[in-house]
């Protein structure tokens, strides 16, 4: 299959074929060093990874402010994505409080706050981060469309929406991309959301394409999980009854990596590229990392080819994954399909 350094998502939005998920540069995975983070971002641009993904809630706005330091000298090189919509925290959601807002007033408030933190006049791709099901999606997307008309946003995106929600949104305004978790460990979106995106000409932006810790170099056995963050430890995929089965996928990936003289992360990203092509959707994964060397490793996955036999083995391994990808399925599209 031909590989290029750029991909055109929906609504004629062209980005680098690999993006950068900036949530990795927040304390959710441990303490961060802003100078090191900024150096990693600059290295990403130097390599050609120009699609930078952040959100207003990452680090309580600190992540957007960090990226503003990158934009200060290199704004023209960046395809900038940020998000709005998440409010509160998991504990609030568990107690029944709304975890997201999508009302028109909030949409307009959030873009102005993000533009201020980012110190820029326009966002290239603006996502609804999560859906508040009590607010019609037509209202939310309608308010987002007004931001395009106002010149504050160039393209619209939706995160963790169902196929039906995507169809309703597209009827209001063109949607450039759906962002949802998608990896060899998380394939529920392949049933309905990805086919709907392909049908509608909407691109797909997989987050956590390396499996939320399975291939980041921090989790190679069940023992490692005790030292891992609560962010991973509380996910069903990492529960005792599922973890060993899911770690078996790592072994298949490692075997293929040895055969291709590649790294396991490159194999996982290459598999996702082939899978998106098979399903007919333009896709740009956004792996996150704190280290510049990892950015290059991920970008070089574009040069990794897989044989039919290797794809079949990887597909079979992924099909055997155990456990849901989120403890609160209503928080992701899988719980509403």
Domains, the chain, ordered by start? 6-335 (3.20.20.100)
Catalytic residue among 29, 58, 207, 274: 58
- Range picked from 134-148, 233-247, 287-301 for highest mean pLDDT: 134-148
* Residue 20 · residue 53 · CB < 8 Å: yes
> Rounded to two decimals, what is the model's pTM?
0.92
58-67: pLDDT as tens digits: 999 999 999 9
Greatest Cα pair distance, the chain, in angstroms, is: 54
194-242: pLDDT as tens digits: 999 999 999 999 999 998 766 654 444 444 444 445 555 557 777 767 7
Q: What are phi and psi of 82, to 5 degrees?
A: -140, 180
Evaluate if residue 284 carries a pLDDT over 50. Answer: yes
Question: Which residues are within 8 A (CB) of 205 and not within 5 positions of it... i.e. 6 or more apart?
Answer: 9, 19, 53, 81, 157, 177, 178, 179, 283, 284, 285, 286
Which stretch of 48-52, 238-242, 318-322 has the lowest confidence by average pLDDT? 238-242
Is 29 among the catalytic positions?
A: no
Angle at 52 between CA 47 and CA 58, to 5 degrees: 135
């Amino acid at each position: 299959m031909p590989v290029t350094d750029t991909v055109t998502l929906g609504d004629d939005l062209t980005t680098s074929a690999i993006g950068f998920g900036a949530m990795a540069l927040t304390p959710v995975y441990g303490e961060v060093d802003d100078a090191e983070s900024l150096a990693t971002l600059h290295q990403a641009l130097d390599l050609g990874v120009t699609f930078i993904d952040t959100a207003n809630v990452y680090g309580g706005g600190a992540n957007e402010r960090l990226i503003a330091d990158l934009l200060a000298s290199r704004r023209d090189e960046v395809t900038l994505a940020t998000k709005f919509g998440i409010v509160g925290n998991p504990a609030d959601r568990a107690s029944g409080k709304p975890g997201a807002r999508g009302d028109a007033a909030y949409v307009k408030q959030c873009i102005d706050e993000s533009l201020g933190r980012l110190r820029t006049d326009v966002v290239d791709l603006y996502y609804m981060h999560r859906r508040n099901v009590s607010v019609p999606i037509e209202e939310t997307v309608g308010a987002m469309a007004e931001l395009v008309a106002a010149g504050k946003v160039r393209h619209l995106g939706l995160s963790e929406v169902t196929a039906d929600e995507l169809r309703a949104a597209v009827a209001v305004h063109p949607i450039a991309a759906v962002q949802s978790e998608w990896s060899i460990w998380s394939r529920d979106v392949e049933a309905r959301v990805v086919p709907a995106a392909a049908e509608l000409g909407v691109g797909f932006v997989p987050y956590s394409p390396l499996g939320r810790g399975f291939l980041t170099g921090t989790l190679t056995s069940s023992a490692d999980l005790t030292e891992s963050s609560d962010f991973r430890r509380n996910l069903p995929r990492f529960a005792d009854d599922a973890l060993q089965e899911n770690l078996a996928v790592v072994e298949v990936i490692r075997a293929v990596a040895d055969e291709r003289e590649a790294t396991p992360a490159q194999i996982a990203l290459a598999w996702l590229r082939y899978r998106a092509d098979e399903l007919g959707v333009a896709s740009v994964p956004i792996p996150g990392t704190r280290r510049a060397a990892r950015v290059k490793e991920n970008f070089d996955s574009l040069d990794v080819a897989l044989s039919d036999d290797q794809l079949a083995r990887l597909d079979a391994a992924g099909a055997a994954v155990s456990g849901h990808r989120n403890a609160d399925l209503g928080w992701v599209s899988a719980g509403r399909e």
